[in-house]
Every structure is written in structure tokens, then in C-alpha cells.
A and B are shown apart, each in its own frame.
Chain A
Amino acid sequence: MTRSFFSRNGTRSGYQKQARYSAFDLFRRGLSGAEWPRAWRSRDPKSSYDVVVIGGGVHGLATAYYLAKEHGITDVAVLDKGYIGGGASGRNTAIIRSNYLTPEGVRFYDRSVKLYENLSAELNFNVMFSQRGHLTLAHNDGAVRTMRWRAEVNKLEGIDSEVIGPAEIKNLVPFMDTSEHTRYPILGALYHPPGGIIRHDAVVWGYARGADAHDVHIHPYTEVQGIDVENGRVHGVRTNRGGIATSKVVNCTAGYSSLISGMAGVGMPIGTFPLQAAVTERVKPFLHPVVVSGTLHVYVSQTDRGELVFGASVDPFTSYSTRGSLEFIEGLAGHVLELMPSLSKLRLLRQWAGLCDMTPDYSPIMGVTPVEGFYIDVGWGTWGFKAGPVSGEAMAELVATGKTPKIIAAFDLARFAEGRLVGEKGAAAVGH
């Protein structure tokens, strides 16, 4: 029912017919040997756009997609200084969940999960959302209490989430050492069945293809070098490919969001920290749910290809370096083996890092700024990917209507100056 390209209302003007993806079409083209057309087009930037979105990751592309599809605003450019999805969208560990701590957070991420559940059909692009369940382990009384707090808030908001004990954990993850003799015995876990993992690149590409179908222009390798602001209003952006006039700029960057906002003269409560991740060699599937331990600063999942994907908390100091560190993989391995000691002969294959914009209250910053026409969707810390669809939807609504949607009202920039921080810190610290 959600074959959006072909049946849903939306813009008609810039509508671009694309090749439909399906098993039947795979078969047909396999027989005929016909090539698949480009998923999205390559173009030269125009000298002006109604809206310029900075950042070609999931947030930027989703914003552009929903602007075009839901609001008929198709004169939109998405700029990225590299290839699309090359920043945090392509470097995260692709965990999706909605079991947050605050009602604001839960509602927001729940909307995101709902959008993700429908995204493959919506975009006609399989994003491989695998709702295999998400376990957040508790190794001490305080953590058990926080897990119960989350579970209770979740349940009141209609989210499937419950606290389970070591025996049930062992059932779900037979490799887990649930004995009492470990350094940090496992006392329980928050179990969130709808949580899971997704193919992060596919989400980016699906949105890019969807935005392109609505005639949004996608410009990779287009670096924003300045934002023109006069009398408190945005007039355009300067890029390595020339100037672009526009009255609306949306900052959807991660890592560099302070620098982009700085170009518009907007100060940010953000520190940029590397977040590292690593992947092992492939082994046959043995780990179904996503496992997270806040105490041990680690999260683990196994991809359909068989690799274990690991992540941890952000690096201990700010940096724009994505070179990665040895101490990260050392600590990571130690903590993984605390949980699953039999994996000691598994080999770590690759480590990488992305940049995270950490905010004081572990919540994003979304909405308007003191500069008219300069919108921000930043401060995504380590939890941005899971919020991609809902952020795009909400930012598009804001840009199109000028009104801040209720679902993101709590995340405004003004909350810092006004002392209204969001209480999500407890759930998000290593909350992947």
C-alpha cells in the first residue's frame, strides 16, 4: 500500500520515473541482460535553490526526501563534502531502538522505528531492518533500576520493553557468560524485541534514490565553505563549486556541525568526539539479538554476513581524527570477552572511527536558530542513525511550515540558554 513513487500523493511537477525494484524485475533484467539505471542522478549545482541541506547522510537526505514528498518543496539541494553517506551515516553500527528513558525521547524514537519498519516498502529499497531484539545488560543494582525505569516509561508509551533475568538472557544468547563469577556479573537486562540492526548504507541510498525521484538535487563532493548571513537572515552558501543563493539552509551534519553553525555565527553546545567501531572476521551466525552493556562500554551484534560488529562509548577527548586507537580495540576486546569468553580466538578485522557531536544532555538539537532561515538538526552524539527518518520528517515539516513540530519541541537550541535540558543522559551514555 505504500508504493509511494507510484501511487501516493506528492509532487507531480518534478516527478522522475525510476526503475522499480522487485524480485520480478531482477528476474526480467537477469534474463534480458538489461542494465539498471542510476539510482540517483549526477548534476551540476544550480545557482540557487529554495532549500539547501548541508550533509548528505541519512538526516540530510531524509529531510530533502520528506520536503519534496510531503510538502511539495522540490527545489532542494543536498550538499556533501564527500560521497553521500560517507560520514557518520556510513560509520555507525546501525542499531535501531526506541527504548529511551524520557517520554519525549521514547515518542520521538518510536516514530523513527515505525518509519524504519515501513521504509523498505516506502523507498522501494530493501534497507534490511532486522528486528532481532535488543538487550541492554545491567551489571549492578543501579543499572537494574535504570532499566526498570526505562521499561516502565516505555510501557506507558506503548513500547515493547521489559526487564528480564540472567536465565532468559542465557536463552537468548547462549554464548553469554551469565555466571556469578565474572568481574561484573549480569543481573538482568532491558529486553526490547522491536530493536535491531539495519543496513545503514541502504538507508542512505534509499533516501537518495527517493529524493532524486522527486527531483531533489544531490551534490556529493561539494563542500560548504561559508554561509552568507545578512541582517540576521540567510542568503546563501559558498562552496568549492561556487555560490548558491538560498533563503533556507538546514545543517544536517555530524562531526562538523559546530563548524557549519559557526559559519552562520551560531554557537553550539557541542564537543566533537570520535566514536570507534570494529568488526571481526565472519563466523556462522550464533548471536541473534543486539547486546549492549553500559558498564562494560560495549555493544555487539552479528550481521547477516556473519561479522560481529562492535562499538563502545566515545573517545575520552575531543578530536576530529578518525584514525582510531589501539587502546580502543584493546578495551573493546577485553569487554567482549567478559561477556562471551569463548570468542577469544575470533579475529578483529577492521576498526574505524566516526565523529560524534556530543551535547550536554545527550539529546539532539533540532529546530530554528537565532539566524532566520538557518535550521539545525545536529548534536546527534552516538544515536543519530536511529533517528534519521523521524528527524527528516520533522525537519521537513519545520522548514516547510515554519512551525516546530511537537515531536521535536523538547530538542530546541534555546533549551540550553533557558536551562531546560532533557533528561536522557542515563539512557544514552552507551545506549546503542
Chain B
Amino acid sequence: MILLPCPHCGPRNASEFRYAGEASTRPDPNATTPEEWRAYLYIKNNPAGWTTEKWFHRTGCRRYFTAERHTVTNEVRETRLPAARLESNS
């Protein structure tokens, strides 16, 4: 069982978490087209390699965070809270 380093709680068993899918960006709901919106809903990068994804620490701090995980080795190289992303974007 892999360990996921929760940015709040530290490394924990993956069974404490829920995988919440690839990180994605929500289109503007009032300007979007069906193609764009459904790409957001359904299309995945699904790489065999590093991917950026969302996890939820279900039986821990109940925080969502972003993880960079390698989908072949399952190694996790970085996790961060979504707020950190916002700060870095602003």
C-alpha cells in the first residue's frame, strides 16, 4: 500500500484517502460550448507517467489536496493544498 504525504497530516496509508481524479479546470459555465464542457467532464490525459491529481483525506483532516504521482511506479513526488496553488497563481 502506497503512502500518501498529506500536506496536513504527513505520510498516511492510501486507504485513508479517496482518489478524486485528474486535476481539471472548470470552463466558464455561461460561455462554454457543449464540446468544451464535455471535454471537461469526460476527457482525461491518463498518462503513463507523472500526473497531477486530486485526493481527499477522508479519514483524516478532510482536506483536498493536489498530488503529483507517477502512474507506473505509484511514487508520489509532491503534494500541496489547493490554496497553495491559488497563492502561486495570484
Contact = CB atoms under 8 A, between A and B. Distances in A.
Tell whether any CB of A sits under 8 Å from a CB of B in the complex: yes
Interface in B40-82: 41-48, 51, 53, 71-74
B34 interface: yes
Given A316-B19, A327-B1, A419-B38, A258 B72 contact: no
B3 interface: no
Interface string B2-34: 000000000000110011011000000000001
A267 B71 contact: no
Contacts of A325: 1
A320 B42 contact: no
Contacts of A271: 21-22, 44, 46
30 contacts: A258-B44, A258-B46, A259-B47, A267-B39, A267-B43, A268-B43, A268-B46, A269-B42, A270-B46, A271-B46, A272-B46, A272-B71, A316-B14, A316-B19, A317-B14, A317-B53, A318-B19, A318-B46, A318-B51, A318-B53, A318-B71, A319-B72, A320-B71, A321-B72, A321-B73, A327-B1, A327-B15, A416-B41, A419-B34, A419-B38
B44 A269 contact: yes
Contacts of B43: 267-269, 416
- Decide if the interface of chain B is mainly helix, strand, loop or mixed: mixed
Contacts of B38: 416-419
A186 to B, nearest CB: 27
A111 to B, nearest CB: 27
A319 B46 contact: no
A316 B19 CA distance: 7
Given A320-B71, A321-B73, A419-B38, A268 B48 contact: no
Contacts of B87: none
Contacts, number: 65
A360 B42 contact: yes
A256 interface: yes
Question: Which residue, B14, B15, B35, B46, has most C-beta atoms of chain A within 10 A?
Answer: B46
A418 B39 CA distance: 10
A320 B51 CA distance: 12
Given A416-B38, A419-B38, A320 B48 contact: yes
Nearest to A316: B19
Interface in A258-278: 258-259, 267-272
Of all A-B residue pairs in the complex, the 5 with the closest CB atoms, nearest first, are A317-B19, A269-B42, A258-B46, A267-B43, A320-B48
Contacts of A267: 39, 43
Contacts of B48: 256, 259, 272, 320
A387 to B, nearest CB: 21
A417 B35 CA distance: 5
A271 B21 CA distance: 9
Nearest to A359: B42
Nearest to B49: A320
Interface string A100-125: 00000000000000000000000000
